[in-house]
Amino acid sequence: MNWETICNSLSSEDRFCAPIEVSGVEYDSRRVESGDVFVAMRGESTDGNQYIETAVTKGATAVVTDSREAYAKLRHEHAKVGAALVERGRRALAEVSSAVMGHPDRELALSAVTGTNGKTTTAFLLETILRSVHRTCVLIGTIETHVGLEVRVSPHTTPESRDILEIFAAGVKVGATEAVMEMSSHALEQERVWGLSVDVAMFTNLTQDHLDYHGTMEKYFAAKARLFSGVGSPPPRVAVINDDDFWGGKRLAHSSLQSEVMRYGMDGGDYRSEDVVLRAGETTFVFKTPNGDVPIRSPLTGRVNVYNLLAASCAALARGLTLEEVVAGAASGSQVPGRFEVVPSSLGFTVVVDYAHTDDALRNLISLARDLVKKHGGRVITLFGCGGDRDKTKRPRMGKAAGEGSDLVVLTSDNPRSEDPMVIIQDALIGVRETATTFIVEEDRAGAIEIAIRAARIGDIVLIAGKGHEKVQILKGGSIPFDDVAIAADVLRGTA
């Protein structure tokens, strides 16, 4: 593609639009190849402008920068290299990437979900329902990325715009017409999704999380709410909102939305669940809508998944499916990795791995487990830890949530990152000690999993919370392989 065309489309303060052909776009100098445009932008942990020289040396034929000093130096030292000075590097990255890749985002109907809890399961469910009517999809989320039938590892919940658009382009090549994305509050605030036109936007809920980054719940909500006003694009055509959640039903739904609004809930909303029946491995309810009522059955478990099913079902209706197609699609779903994932065992008790890493998610998880064991008088054993270098105020709340709902708490390490694991554990213990529940402290997570499982009796549920689908543990010295499901399975085999 011609650099002049790209250059003239940018909202730049200054530019050198030489007649140069460009073949790709990169923001990471390590990935630059000959013919690429290098977008140098200030990030949260590093400044890409420090790597302009490296990018040019590797063959970048044009550079977009958000640094006036870097732009002046580039024009002085590399006069033949195309250049553009912009105010916002991330916006420019999105604009250049879309142009170079042929605007693949325009070929896909995008459904996006945001919220503290439920994003991953809701996204998986919506993709499953869409695929059940033979629509080819792209899925971008926390656990994995799907390009048609191809499954890829997801390094981030929401990647940078260049990487999103590359995935979209791959999807278009295999005939995809739909895209489903999780959009995190960080990505929305940092404008990693700049310019993406969202057709259906979903809001699951908002509970305290990420305050180490956002500072207050109001700012956290404001970041999430950007999805519904459009991030460099028009507002979504349809907004699907959890009417039972305060921030959704009372705040977002009553803001100046320019979208068609579909409210869902177990207690309120125009799209509701009634006659809910929860069993291990099955959830059923009547889906009541303005256009009729239908029975929904899903292999997912628990009250929280009723909300996820409602959100995905509403989004599927918004994408043109019939109620009958939604019913069939919901029934065809399968267990989502790390979301109430049952580890197979024949020992008479249940071991579940779940991503719950906030006090609200932990409380919901334990409540579900309590409902499942109460018929047989079983106990709930909860293993959890708290992440390091994250919001410290939620640690005692998580401890209290675990203690209030469990019969035994095993407190351990999660992803301590740069912090001392025992310091994190002591913070969480403050909340556990507010309850009368028996607890065990074991810093080593693998050892803690063994303790929790060996403490179980017939009829009990062991909850291994916090890491879910993750395959590594992040320590001060780096990441090590760690899989809660695999470790639990090994302990179960040794216990049998």
Structure confidence by residue, pLDDT tens digits, 401-432: 999 999 999 999 999 999 999 999 999 999 99
Task: Give the least confident one: 2-6, 84-88, 92-96, 336-340.
Answer: 336-340
pLDDT of residue 143: 87
Q: Are residues 325 and 349 in the same domain?
A: no
pLDDT over 70 at 211, yes or no: no
pLDDT of residue 46: 86
Q: Which of 331, 352, 386 is the last residue of a domain?
A: 331
Q: What does the pLDDT average to over 270-283?
A: 91
pLDDT over 80 at 487, yes or no: yes
- Residues 16 and 76 sit within 8 Å (Cβ to Cβ): no
pLDDT of residue 281: 80
The two three-digit tokens of residue 438, written as one number = 């028996």
pLDDT of residue 56: 97
Q: What does the pLDDT average to over 359-363?
A: 92
Does residue 49 lie within any of the structural domains? yes
- Residues 352 and 388 sit within 8 Å (Cβ to Cβ): no
Does residue 448 lie within any of the structural domains? yes
pLDDT of residue 369: 93
pLDDT, mean over the chain: 94
pLDDT over 90 at 45, yes or no: no
Q: Are residues 48 and 162 in the same domain?
A: no
Read out DSSP for 261-310? EEEEESSSSSEEEEEEEEETTEEEEEEEETTEEEEEEES--SHHHHHHHH
Q: Which of 285, 304, 331 is the last residue of a domain?
A: 331
Q: What does the pLDDT average to over 26-40?
A: 96
Does residue 336 lie within any of the structural domains? no
Does residue 176 lie within any of the structural domains? yes
Does residue 47 lie within any of the structural domains? yes
Q: What is the domain count for the chain?
A: 3
pLDDT of residue 7: 87
Q: Tokens 């809508």 label which residue? A: 289
Cα four-point dihedral sign 264, 269, 271, 275: positive
Q: Are residues 363 and 479 in the same domain?
A: yes
Q: Are residues 94 and 110 in the same domain?
A: no
Per the rule left: phi > 0, alpha: psi between -120 and 50, beta: everything else, 80 is: alpha
Q: What is the CATH number of the domain that holds 32?
A: 3.40.1390.10
pLDDT of residue 336: 82
Q: Are residues 356 and 486 in the same domain?
A: yes
Smallest Cα–Cα separation from 408: which of 461, 372, 339?
461
Residues whose CB falls within 8 Å of the CB of residue 195, separated by 6 or more in sequence, listed in order: 91, 94, 95, 98, 105, 161, 231, 232, 233
Q: What is the pLDDT of residues 288-313, one digit of tens each?
A: 999 999 999 999 988 889 999 999 99
Give the whole-angstrom CA distance, residue 343 versus residue 485.
7
Q: Are residues 349 and 284 in the same domain?
A: no
Give the whole-angstrom CA distance, residue 140 versus residue 146.
7
pLDDT over 90 at 208, yes or no: no
Q: What is the CATH number of the domain that holds 415?
A: 3.90.190.20
Give the whole-angstrom CA distance, residue 262 versus residue 484.
37
Q: What does the pLDDT average to over 265-281?
A: 92
Does residue 429 lie within any of the structural domains? yes
Q: Tokens 């195309």 label which residue? A: 82
Which pLDDT band holds residue 250 (cuts at 50, 70, 90)?
Answer: confident
Read out DSSP for 146-165? EETTEEEE-SSSS--HHHHH
- Residues 310 and 287 sit within 8 Å (Cβ to Cβ): yes
* DSSP 8-state secondary structure symbol assigned to residue 108: S
Q: What is the pLDDT of residues 366-398, one digit of tens each?
A: 998 998 898 789 999 999 999 999 989 999 999
Which pLDDT band holds residue 213 (cuts at 50, 70, 90)?
Answer: low
Does residue 462 lie within any of the structural domains? yes
Does residue 300 lie within any of the structural domains? yes
3-state helix, strand, coil in the chain (%, to 5): 40, 25, 35
Q: Are residues 45 and 141 in the same domain?
A: no
Q: Are residues 152 and 33 in the same domain?
A: no
Q: Are residues 303 and 441 in the same domain?
A: no
Q: Are residues 110 and 96 in the same domain?
A: no
Which residue segment(s) compose the domain that 437 sits in?
341-495
Q: Which of 298, 331, 364 is the last residue of a domain?
A: 331
